[in-house]
Amino acid sequence: MPNLGNFHYILGVERENQFIGQSGAFLDAVERASRAAPMARPVLVIGERGTGKELIAERLHRLSDRWEEPLVIMNCAALPETLIEAELFGHEAGSFTGATKAREGRFEEADRGTLFLDEIGTLSMAAQERLLRAVEYGEVTRIGSSRPTRVDVRIVAATNEDLPQMALEGRFRADLLDRLSFEVITLPPLRVREGDIAVLADYFGRRMAAELGWEEWPGYADHVADAFENHPWPGNVRELRNVVERAVYRWDDWSQPIAHVVFDPFDSPWKPVSMPDERAHRVPSKDAVAAPASVDTDFSHVADLRAAVDGHEKAILLHALGRHRWNQRQTAKALGLSYDQLRHAIKKHELTNSDSE
């Protein structure tokens, strides 16, 4: 069995769906979900993409009295507006073109269980009106039918939109918002979860190493760990998982700390050229080699120019050496140096392979 150590700070739900973290902001959100779970009331989950809104919905369901009943998930943004109402409430045969037979909607499928409506801010006003009736009266009517059906469904809705602001602007029904917000759980973005980035990176890295059959977990070089801490993580935990797993599987030597990480997998010298307006909106590359995260770029605090330049040079060397597995000839070529110039720089900064540990 690979010696990959133990995983810590895990609040499990089931299977691979787990909350991992130790920061106060994170634990407060999980605790609020745990307290709200037994209540048969709607809950609204708010958070940026990749923060774990679906995991909160699953926790609310599994810790409730409905845990043995269905948890039905619907992404409101994944369907065209013309089909959302049919998907939610069902339809009778012949009620519209293509409706060859009657079909239950998600409300009927979730009867006695939980219905998770992700991206609820994308619902049309017509769908919001019908959803309001379903939430308020516990009745749904299939498209093409005049008979309402009683349902017992606990609603959990999620969004990354500012629903109160949308309600003020008339883009979301204020009365529906009132019905859905018995409890509101706002998930903190990864960048404010103090200490959790290292915990998550370690967890995802170990799991990927086990999947690859590594005999040991080498951890990350210091400059890679610093890059993790300094990245803004717009995709939050989902992005972190992708970045970590990509770095681990691309690393060939499990006996050495992982010394190279690429944050933007689309960054390539051969990528298609975008039009000027597209380039203006493209997120800059966060490749750890191109922009070492350990370097302080706030020049107003530089009091010793020589020390600052040396620190910058050392960080670049460590990144480049890590990227090329400490192959000095490849590193020299990548940096535009001769082999002797690189050797001189390594000696100047007293660098050894252990500096990546």
What pLDDT digit, counting tens, does each position of 221-272 carry?
Answer: 999 999 999 999 999 999 999 999 999 999 988 899 999 999 999 987 787 8
Are residues 202 and 127 located together in one domain of the fold?
Answer: no
Are residues 181 and 64 located together in one domain of the fold?
Answer: yes
Are residues 159 and 222 located together in one domain of the fold?
Answer: no
Between 272 and 214, residue with greater pLDDT: 214
Are residues 264 and 350 located together in one domain of the fold?
Answer: yes
pLDDT of residue 312: 81
pLDDT of residue 277: 55
Residue 114 pairs in a beta bridge with 71, 154
Q: Is pLDDT at 70 greater than 80 in this prediction?
A: yes
Are residues 302 and 228 located together in one domain of the fold?
Answer: yes
* Helix orientation angle between 328-335 and 339-348, rounded to the nearest 10 degrees: 100
Picking from 62-66, 273-277, 287-291, 349-353, which range would have the lowest pLDDT averaged per residue?
287-291
In-domain check, residue 64: yes
| CATH code, 304 | 1.10.8.60
Are residues 175 and 202 located together in one domain of the fold?
Answer: no
pLDDT of residue 11: 42
Q: Is pLDDT at 197 greater than 60 in this prediction?
A: yes
How does the average pLDDT of the chain come out, rounded? 85
pLDDT of residue 286: 42
Are residues 165 and 51 located together in one domain of the fold?
Answer: yes
Contact 94, 126 (CB under 8 A): no
pLDDT of residue 355: 57
Task: Find the mean pLDDT for residues 97-113.
Answer: 87
Confidence of residue 144 (pLDDT cuts 50, 70, 90): confident
Are residues 182 and 202 located together in one domain of the fold?
Answer: no
Are residues 179 and 209 located together in one domain of the fold?
Answer: no
Task: Find the mean pLDDT for residues 70-82.
Answer: 90
Picking from 62-66, 73-77, 195-199, 323-327, which range would have the lowest pLDDT averaged per residue?
323-327
Confidence of residue 287 (pLDDT cuts 50, 70, 90): very low
Are residues 209 and 159 located together in one domain of the fold?
Answer: no
Between 298 and 159, residue with greater pLDDT: 159
Q: Is pLDDT at 7 greater than 50 in this prediction?
A: no
Are residues 168 and 233 located together in one domain of the fold?
Answer: no
Residue 71 pairs in a beta bridge with 114
The number of folded domains in the chain is 2
Tell which of 163, 187, 211 closes a domain: 187
Q: Is pLDDT at 194 greater than 60 in this prediction?
A: yes
Distance, in Å, from the CA atom of 85 to the CA atom of 99, rounded to the nearest integer, reads 13
In-domain check, residue 15: no
Residue 219 sits in which domain range? 192-356
| CATH code, 66 | 3.40.50.300
Contact 294, 226 (CB under 8 A): yes
Q: Is pLDDT at 50 greater than 60 in this prediction?
A: yes
pTM above 0.85, yes or no: no
- 205: Cβ contacts below 8 Å, ≥ 6 apart: 217, 219, 220, 244, 245, 247, 248, 258
